[in-house]
């Protein structure tokens, strides 16, 4: 998963990443070329990927990009979802650069949030209440774009609460998904979505009205697919 790689390599690649960021900031795409991704698009993509996993069994353990490309070939995946998947695939190579924009103190704040969430025992409702309470009390206002990213994180949890984050969702009652750890999935998605949103906003990759949701979806999809591959490693 890219988020972990960035945390380990950040100190080694900062000069290169800063150069790339300066180049990228001067190339903000025109609005007509932007797809307005949302938290519900993340849920739609993952519902189709997880629900059609049986049609995407590769010969070897796939990468995130390989599994998403496989989803594009599945007839049961809707055309609208395939459009979103392709947009995410186009942006995934940029994710590492976005994450490298995040200051150490913001990473620490994200780590602290994820640590606090562990106390809720995988309860999404309590997690949402915690995040909303912190936002209402301006607890994270000192960290640029973190409040906006956390609002996206709440949307992410709500969008997937009845399906991909619900252990009783039908695909999880069928092999090889029986016993799938949905709590692990949504925590990975939440962290990836928050970090992706903050990083994309700091990298200024799109107009302000789009950037949080685009970065959040790309970061969350990277985390979602990586966790799916990890949990189903014995399948491949």
pLDDT for the residue numbered 56: 75
What is the domain count for the chain? 1
- Structural domain of residue 140, as residue ranges? 2-7+33-231
Q: What is the band of 44 on the pLDDT scale with cuts at 50, 70, 90?
A: very high
Q: What is the band of 28 on the pLDDT scale with cuts at 50, 70, 90?
A: very low
Domain annotation covers residue 27: no
Domain annotation covers residue 236: no
Please state the rounded mean pLDDT for residues 124-145.
98
Domain annotation covers residue 18: no
Domain annotation covers residue 25: no
Burial class (CB in 10 A: 0-12, 13-18, 19+), 221: buried
Domain annotation covers residue 185: yes
**Per-residue pLDDT for 23 more than 50?**
no
pLDDT digits (tens, 9 = 90+) for 6-18: 766 655 443 333 3
Domain annotation covers residue 22: no
**Per-residue pLDDT for 81 more than 90?**
yes
Q: Taking the model in full, what pTM does it have? A: 0.88
Contacts of 17-24 with CB under 8 Å at 24 or more apart are: 17/96, 17/97, 17/100, 17/101, 20/97, 21/97, 21/100, 21/101, 21/203, 24/94, 24/97, 24/203, 24/204, 24/205
Domain annotation covers residue 19: no
- Return all residues near 212 (Cβ < 8 A) that are at least 6 apart: 145, 148, 149, 151, 152, 197, 200, 201
Domain annotation covers residue 12: no
**Per-residue pLDDT for 19 more than 60?**
no
Please state the rounded mean pLDDT for residues 168-187.
94
């Amino acid at each position: 998963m890219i988020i972990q790689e960035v945390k380990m390599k950040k100190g080694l690649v900062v000069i290169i990443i800063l150069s790339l960021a300066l180049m990228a900031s001067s190339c903000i795409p025109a609005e007509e070329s932007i797809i307005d991704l949302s938290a519900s698009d993340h849920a739609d993509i993952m519902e189709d990927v997880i629900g059609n996993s049986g049609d995407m069994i590769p010969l070897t353990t796939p990468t995130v990009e390989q599994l998403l490309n496989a989803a594009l070939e599945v007839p049961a995946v809707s055309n609208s979802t395939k459009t979103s998947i392709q947009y995410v695939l186009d942006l995934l190579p940029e994710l590492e650069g976005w994450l490298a924009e995040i200051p150490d103190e913001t990473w620490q704040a994200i780590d602290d949030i994820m640590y606090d969430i562990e106390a809720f025992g995988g309860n999404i409702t309590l997690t949402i209440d915690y995040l909303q309470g912190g936002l209402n009390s301006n607890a994270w206002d000192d960290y640029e774009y973190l409040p906006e990213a956390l609002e996206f994180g709440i949307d992410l949890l709500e969008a997937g609460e009845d399906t991909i984050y619900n252990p009783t969702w039908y695909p999880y009652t069928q092999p090889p998904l029986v016993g799938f750890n949905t709590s692990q999935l949504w925590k990975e998605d939440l962290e990836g979505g928050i970090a992706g949103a903050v990083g994309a906003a700091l990298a200024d990759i799109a107009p302000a009205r789009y950037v949080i949701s685009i970065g959040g979806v790309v970061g969350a999809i990277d985390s979602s697919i990586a966790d799916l591959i990890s949990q189903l490693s014995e399948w491949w």
